A and B are shown apart, each in its own frame.
Chain A
């Protein structure tokens, strides 16, 4: 499986992964997260774990268990850490600790390197037997609701290393190295691999989208952080000049009352414009997302707050020009005027959308640059290599007692 990346990376780049992995031969690695499927973490682990095994590293992936109450608590932790919202269920800390103890007693933690993904299983460090422990934080912890951060920090302080996705998420109150490892995409996955033009068109027609007119697309949840109302405004400003269509691709959020509210607001803002398609696709609609991105003239990710915003890399990989909000991990992916445009307002987004709709050569230039930028920085092989290096450095510093 890993050999097929040679056609994208080149022999030397792939060899570097083999050479670094060689240093880890014979060790055991365990990844722990909170869900076996659904969401970015499970998606990345489903690719990374087989790749690590293929490199000769004994790698396992285990998922913690918990009841509804526990996952309500961890969801509130997520909101507290990423959005600074301090709305916790009663006895949240006690419930969290109870499930850490249950999982800590059930899961075999006898490994040389243990990657704990996100806050849900972070408390397992209490049950450390041996090895080097690394907390991989996929979310923005730079401006958290302090009581939750202070609670978790007691655990995080006991890890050997921490991994964050961007320096913007770094914290000054941690005394362990905070490695910067951005997330990545798999170029061979159904969501990202090349698909025939006929498939793209079939899917566009299926959703009543005209492939012969300009298409502006945003793929993201109906969440205020993604600024769906700003996207509608951007489209309406553009529509005054160009007969464009807008496709906003989200997925239903039955467990998120705010999501339904935002969807309602967005449909109201869209009015009865038949060229606005607000789509709710089921999870795992990877082929459809691939087709919408490839069929787009311009892709938007007009977030006003963002974790990393990997949909940007997905679109760049498909050589689409992307206009993104100047927030979170988006500026790492969009280099202003090189791989796309960074904006702060719907008016700016509309300005650059119009510019791109009028200028095919510029779209193609940004598209080429974007794909190359993703090839160098945001493919899964880069993340794989980073994990290997962090494991190696953490083991070395643990051995050196630093």
Chain B
């Protein structure tokens, strides 16, 4: 498995996947952090780590489904383009192992993106001058929620990208996911539970509430989020297994 994974990264040489992911992340961070610093300047009393985490969670709902779609599409499309699915099978590479290696590869890239994001939040918070000690627990919870949601999205995207050769459909799903991730909070609770992309804010440790016509940022309790995350991880595993089974049965 380790060899299959290292080969996936080897295949991505000169594919510029990492620079593109970083470019994407930079655009998101610039947008989010400019908005946060403007908010801090307008109202110095409201300055807090919670504002940054809530803002990034909302932005992630738009950006990460799209980035996940692009990363997975890049990883799967190279096999479609080169007609290498069959070649790899004839070299005694088990289809299930190949599928898992691709998922792990995409997951590690997205983990890197999420870690960069957390690092950027910490650096920005300290540099801004409004905030002091870095809240490690809050950031760890933010990282966990973002990662769990991304794992589900990746499993879904990989299924589509592997099974449907035309990557337009996978990217269309990514675009719809980004849209639903961004506006997910506007939906009723029942609808929000169905859309996996809405969990970028759903698993965020900070939520926004309106009290006496003023927006407040409230830190959520870990309990309900953990149970939702456990369900989501099970969904990710299910999607992964179904996708792997489907892909393994395809005629290369």
- Binding partners A and B: no
